[in-house]
Structure 1
Amino acid sequence: MSRVILTFGITRRFSSKPSYFHNPGKTPLVYRNVGQQLEISTRRFPNREAIVACSENERLTFADLDEKVSRLGAGFVKLGLQPGDAIAIWGPNYLHWAISMLAAARSGLVTVGINPNFQASEVKYSLNKVGVKALVASETYRNTNYYTILEEIIPELKNSEPGKIKSESVPSLRSLIIPSTDKYNGAFKFCDMMDLANKTEIESLEKNCDNISPDAPCNIQFTSGTTGLPKAAVLSHNGLVNSAETFTKALNLEDARICGILPLFHCYALLVGKLAAIVAGATYVIPSPYFIAEKALKTVVEEKCTHLQGTPTMYVDLVEKQKELKLPITTLKHALTGGASCSPQFINDIRDVLKIPAVRNAYGASETSANAFIQKFIETEENNLTTVGSLNEHLEAKVIDPNGKTLPFGQLGELCIRGYNIMLEYYGDEEKTREVLDKDRWYKTGDQFILREDGHGIIAGRIKEMIIRGGENLFPKEIEDFLNAHPDIIESHVIGVPDRRLGEEMCAFVRVKEGAELNLDVLKQYCKGKIAHFKIPRYLRIVKEFPKTTSGKIQKFKLKEMYESEEN
């Protein structure tokens, strides 16, 4: 027995069955580490381009990449690094980022991606949180000199010998590696690291790669929360390789040329982009060190890219820039959006303006190795526009209420995921680990979600972003999707703001088209009769741009700060 109700602009079917879904998959999981996966792909595609770094004018085949990875990995071992040691990579999307990550994996080291925008206190926290022993740091990022920041963190650096750093503020750190032709005190040159080990040591590294357990830690992702310091999610080789296998099949990446506009330190780019490209034997094209819409579009044309992966805000910028440039985009076959909710209007814009026939949503988190739900190649139009697809192979999902009870299909609650893809732990934080990972290894995502009997999912937003207005539970995503359909609005984001009478009210921050005249009265008139009166934002703020993370996510807490500063 089921009943039907219309909400979130779609038809929801309520069922009496508990919302548990298992997708056993059609093919078995693999059991190998990242280094072994690179070796397999190199044997299959030795002469195929693996990475194209446009800004550095570098092109590496799989054979080239494999050789550099082994040389650098043996260099890491020569420094005295042991399996399980943490090595951090701090910088934007340069070729050395990808080589360093793969070299560390082949050596049994655990890579730690550090946001290239981080400043001294944030870098210091990250290095100390996971006991980093070696750091690969870019020379500069935009107008920031990384070595100057490191001197602030580690005053002893300028008087240190390479590989012998002794710091009171970062006691675990011993080695600093900088990709530069210049010499920096206390640091190895990246190019010198490539030649540090001899042939015998390189061959030994390659043989020892088979001894690295697929269950061992491979990568640490710092996940930003709404409160407190970032948590460090530890991901295994097994979780990363099998998630990459999943996306290779789901996205049909064989022979693909992927335009990599996402930051490599982020799980989305690292897994769905770079590691999936390795599994598939695809070419990963890096347009620029950081996202520039014009550069990305020109790279798509020049490099004949077939696949594009980005966040919704990146696609907004790409669409607006393409309207201006009108480039002859003819090779793109597929666009994937993830990292945040994407409204139906944005999906249609991507199709129409960027001329991409297949635009698909995916859903995941750092803690799930970026892997959970994805849209199939053949979906109904309703599924394409309103869901994040269906549950991926070999995973389990359920939706629970605040007391942990499994809700029926079709009801809104917190999504939980279980499977090979789930993080091992939050590094050094048993309490936080227990908060999100129960004894049966169900991961509580913190997302409001609707799970259907067919395995498809609909995301309503973060639980902590839910707005309670006079007893009504309001979800920003629903209102944002509606506002984004306004002809003058490019992008909108809704937040809850304090209200003495109702507890919370809504403020819509919007970016409008050039020359558009939008005010609160016009917006309210547009909403009237189309959505419930209590869903109409009470306040409106027009902005030229939104505060974003490096990975393209909107920082809603900064929108709250903007609103509060105006009120005060």
Structure 2
Amino acid sequence: MDNQKGVICLLNEKTVGEIVKETARRFPETEAYVYPELGIRKTYKEFDEETDDLAKALIGMGIQKGEHVAIWSDNKREWLLSQYATGKMGAVLVTVNTNYQEKELEYLLQQSDATTLILCESYKGTSYLDIVRAVCKEINVAEKGNIQSQKLPFLKNVIVMGENNYPGMYTWSELMAHADSVSDETLEQHLKVLKNDDVINIQYTSGTTGFPKGVMLTHKNIVNNGQLVGDCIHLSEQDRLCIPVPFFHCFGCVLGTMASVTHGSTMVIIEQFDAAKVLQMVQDEKCTALHGVPTMFIAELNHPDFAKYDLSSLRTGIMAGSICPIEVMKKVMEDMGASEITIAYGQTESSPVITQTRTDDAIEKRVSSVGQAHPGVEVKIIDPITGEDTPSGVPGELCTRGYLVMKGYYKNEEATNAAIDSHGWLHTGDIAVIDEDGYIDITGRIKDMVIRGGENIYPKEVEEFLYQHPAVQDVQVVGVPDPKYGEELMAWIILKDGENLTSEEVKTYCRGKISYHKIPRYIEFTDAYPMTASGKIQKFLLRELSKEKVEA
């Protein structure tokens, strides 16, 4: 079923750099970004000037339009400035997962053909400098700007966010000194030749099935997605958005920074997520909006000092990144006061948001669906076997088409053709149901669906039920092999502080309330789930762990 109902959407044709300049003209004295922990506050006029200077520095260093600049850091100010500086001078920003280790970094730098790497010194006790030296052994004797690596033939520049000197690496000041050799007119020329369908960003998918793939996104992709995301939550220059989600992920750099910049809103930025810091910043900075993946909101709601914080300024925000539990949504609306919180759904390949609830949707739609497609975005649900459209109410694979579809995977035509069909439809791999009004419910990944004795079970349905138990803080359900039924369910439960629960008590709670075949045969209690750096639960690792437990 195609829910496109003739909605006309006038797309924003501006490039990333033009957006910054337009917002700076409209709201010069509005705060663009704030780092409360560092005491940094900059207006949009200053933000425009800072990103001009950095763009000129990159040009002065010899970086050309279309060159690939990798960035590896938590949510530092230099990351934010780099996103918009590259957007002005035309380099392609390649985002690097903060959790990467040696082999992953080596793969990304090789596969992306990055000529430049910008990085912070360390992250959560891991020395990025040591990892770079292990990947690029030549750096210790290299001339700055002229690295000659056997493994990484494209890599020439490594730039450190800071002023400590390291062999073969530029300090931030040394980078910025290159701006002096570039005129305003030269930068203006760079800005003028950019087209909105130029690739401006490469984001590597998490690689849960094989090697990560580089998703190529254009100015048009991310400018319009940021614009539409912000429109859905009515962002304006009056809003202050708290961004604790990582920049390297679309959630941070599109739903967070780009949504803010397209609307003149203030970005209140946290370098690394911490529930207490989020609550403190929302209170102190009087944030009107807050973003987060479900696990972040769960951590905030369950913080022992939650009741002490004044969150009365909160109005809206976005919960996304993984399936959003209904009970958590209700608590965010009621206990945090974010009555206009929305759910967004999508994936990196779609820039990322495909559907979103609206602030004025009926309450049941806002907590139990991922909303409707954005304006100008086509969505259909198909039978993954036959490819035929499914009727409303029948699960199938969600496909989308429109401005939001990526340009493709970098240097991977085979994977691109597998993801985007000949008619331009992006196949998401997600199982969804659409109702008569065009509201969509995501019931899981095709690969997450459990088939028990011929019955299709969607783990989300069982998770939503178990969330209602008063002792349960979080729950994840996966399938495990079974000789009789093919698959059985295993539930991994995190209990609320001070609560106790046995496997048998969980099963008793289920009996008579959900179908027998949906009651998990195996129940495990845990303190945490395997997570990506962006806060997504890695179900494939949970499945592997579950299989080991059953077979032990």
TM-score for the superposition, normalised by structure 2: 0.97
1:495 positional shift = 0.6
CA distance in 1, matches of 2:118, 2:501: 47
The answer to whether the aligner puts 1:291 opposite 2:235 as a matched pair is no
User: Secondary structure of 1:468's partner?
Assistant: strand
The answer to whether the aligner puts 1:342 opposite 2:304 as a matched pair is no
CA contact (8 A) 1:364 1:373 kept: yes
CA contact (8 A) 2:57 2:182 kept: no
**1:10 counterpart residue number:** none
CA contact (8 A) 1:90 1:116 kept: yes
**1:517 counterpart residue number:** 500
What's the CA shift string for 1:25-77, capped at 9, x where partnerless?
A: 45511211101111111111111111112233211111111111111111111
Give the count of matched residue pairs: 549
CA distance in 2, matches of 1:534, 1:115: 39
CA distance in 2, matches of 1:55, 1:364: 31
Q: Aligned runs of 1:436-515 on 2, under 5 Å? A: 436-515=419-498
CA contact (8 A) 1:50 1:60 kept: yes
Q: Aligned runs of 1:116-515 on 2, under 5 Å? A: 116-198=98-180, 200-254=182-236, 255-287=238-270, 289-321=271-303, 324=306, 326-401=308-383, 402-515=385-498
1:410 positional shift = 2.2
CA distance in 1, matches of 2:199, 2:338: 37
**1:560 counterpart residue number:** 543
1:202 positional shift = 3.6
CA contact (8 A) 1:36 1:210 kept: no
CA distance in 1, matches of 2:92, 2:324: 32
1:24 positional shift = 4.5
CA distance in 1, matches of 2:459, 2:548: 21
CA distance in 2, matches of 1:58, 1:24: 45
**1:104 counterpart residue number:** 86
CA distance in 1, matches of 2:243, 2:188: 28
The answer to whether the aligner puts 1:58 opposite 2:40 as a matched pair is yes
1:503 positional shift = 0.9
- Greater shift, 189-198 or 82-91, is seen at 189-198
1:525 positional shift = 0.7
CA contact (8 A) 2:341 2:359 kept: no
CA contact (8 A) 2:233 2:342 kept: no
Closer/same/farther in 2, CA of residues 553 and 152 from structure 1, 3 Å limit: same
CA distance in 2, matches of 1:368, 1:114: 19
Closer/same/farther in 2, CA of residues 523 and 481 from structure 1, 3 Å limit: same
1:23 positional shift = 4.8
CA contact (8 A) 1:470 1:503 kept: yes
1:229 positional shift = 0.7
CA distance in 1, matches of 2:485, 2:308: 47
Residue type at the aligned position of 2:467: N
1:85 positional shift = 0.9
Closer/same/farther in 2, CA of residues 332 and 197 from structure 1, 3 Å limit: same
1:454 positional shift = 2.0
CA contact (8 A) 1:23 1:391 kept: no
Closer/same/farther in 2, CA of residues 132 and 199 from structure 1, 3 Å limit: closer
1:451 positional shift = 1.8
CA distance in 1, matches of 2:402, 2:483: 44
The answer to whether the aligner puts 1:78 opposite 2:63 as a matched pair is no
The answer to whether the aligner puts 1:42 opposite 2:24 as a matched pair is yes
1:514 positional shift = 2.0
CA distance in 1, matches of 2:471, 2:66: 53
Residue type at the aligned position of 2:311: I
Closer/same/farther in 2, CA of residues 495 and 137 from structure 1, 3 Å limit: same
CA contact (8 A) 2:448 2:459 kept: yes
CA distance in 1, matches of 2:505, 2:202: 47
CA distance in 1, matches of 2:139, 2:391: 58
Closer/same/farther in 2, CA of residues 158 and 325 from structure 1, 3 Å limit: farther
Closer/same/farther in 2, CA of residues 216 and 251 from structure 1, 3 Å limit: same
- Greater shift, 218-227 or 38-47, is seen at 218-227
1:403 positional shift = 2.1
CA distance in 2, matches of 1:340, 1:459: 10
CA distance in 1, matches of 2:532, 2:263: 29
CA contact (8 A) 1:259 1:305 kept: yes
Closer/same/farther in 2, CA of residues 67 and 324 from structure 1, 3 Å limit: closer
1:409 positional shift = 2.3
- Greater shift, 403-412 or 532-541, is seen at 403-412
What's the CA shift string for 1:536-557, capped at 9, x where partnerless?
A: 0001110011121111110112
1:336 positional shift = 1.4
1:372 positional shift = 0.8
- Which of 503, 514, 535 matches 2:518? 535
CA contact (8 A) 1:24 1:393 kept: no
CA distance in 1, matches of 2:227, 2:501: 46
CA RMSD of superposed structures (Å) = 1.4
CA distance in 1, matches of 2:513, 2:341: 27
Q: Structure 1: give runs of 5+ residues left out of the alignment.
A: 1-18
CA distance in 2, matches of 1:509, 1:400: 31
What's the CA shift string for 1:304-323, capped at 9, x where partnerless?
A: 11100111111100100165
CA distance in 1, matches of 2:138, 2:208: 34
CA distance in 1, matches of 2:187, 2:306: 51
CA distance in 2, matches of 1:393, 1:469: 39
Q: Structure 2: give runs of 5+ residues left out of the alignment.
A: none
CA contact (8 A) 2:59 2:182 kept: no
Residue type at the aligned position of 1:367: E
